[in-house]
């Protein structure tokens, strides 16, 4: 299973002029290798772009994504990583979602496709990332 970060999906949905092609190529490559997964947090982040949950659910099905609820161990690991982030001086408060995503990928032993790997590299050393080489 390969977890797909929200930013990659939004790039494709919005046809982002900078990242859209890269994200679509990575999704196609990943889909040929394994199941593509999102968790509850990614679902919630994607919901901002939809007025009806049926529309979001249809996009998820069309994209070949599976929704994988986070196990308790992933929630626990997310909190511990977030605590380390804050203790180290991290001041951004809107980043907790990244910790849930990284922790679940780590707990599942899965790869994570993201175009913003910095926080995952720092706080989830065991997660195998698929990301641009420039980050």
Position 33 confidence tier, pLDDT thresholds 50, 70, 90? very high
Whole-number pLDDT of residue 93: 63
Q: Are 42 and 65 in contact (CB under 8 A)?
A: no
- pLDDT tens string 103-123: 999 999 999 999 999 889 999
Q: How far is CA 74 from CA 17, 33, 42, 61, 132, in A?
A: 34, 24, 14, 24, 25
What string of DSSP letters covers 64-118? TEEE-PPPHHHHHHHHHHHHHHHHTT---STTHHHHHHHHHHHHHT-EEE-S--H
The model carries a pTM of: 0.86
- pLDDT tens string 54-97: 999 999 999 999 999 988 999 888 888 888 888 888 776 667 78
Tokens of 40: 């509850």
Tokens of 131: 């990301």
What is the average pLDDT score of the chain?
Answer: 92
Q: Are 115 and 132 in contact (CB under 8 A)?
A: yes
Domains and CATH numbers, the chain: 2-130 (3.40.50.1010)
Whole-number pLDDT of residue 63: 93
Whole-number pLDDT of residue 38: 97
What is the DSSP code (8-state) at residue 127?
P
User: What is the rounded distance in angstroms from the CA atom of residue 32 to the CA atom of residue 125?
Assistant: 25
More confident call, 23 vs 87: 23
User: What is the rounded distance in angstroms from the CA atom of residue 27 to the CA atom of residue 23?
Assistant: 6
């Amino acid at each position: 299973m390969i977890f797909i970060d929200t930013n990659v999906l939004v790039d494709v949905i919005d046809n982002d002029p900078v990242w859209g092609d890269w994200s679509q190529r990575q999704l196609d490559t990943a889909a040929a290798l394994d199941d593509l997964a999102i968790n509850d947090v990614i679902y919630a982040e994607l919901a901002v772009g939809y007025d009806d949950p049926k529309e979001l659910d249809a996009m998820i099905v069309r994209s070949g994504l599976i929704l994988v609820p986070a196990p308790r161990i992933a929630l626990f690991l997310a909190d511990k990583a977030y605590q380390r982030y804050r203790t180290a001086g991290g001041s951004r408060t809107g980043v907790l979602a990244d910790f849930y995503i990284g922790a679940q990928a780590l707990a599942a032993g899965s790869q994570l496709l993201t175009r913003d790997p910095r926080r995952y590299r720092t706080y989830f050393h065991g997660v195998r990332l698929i990301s641009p080489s420039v980050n």
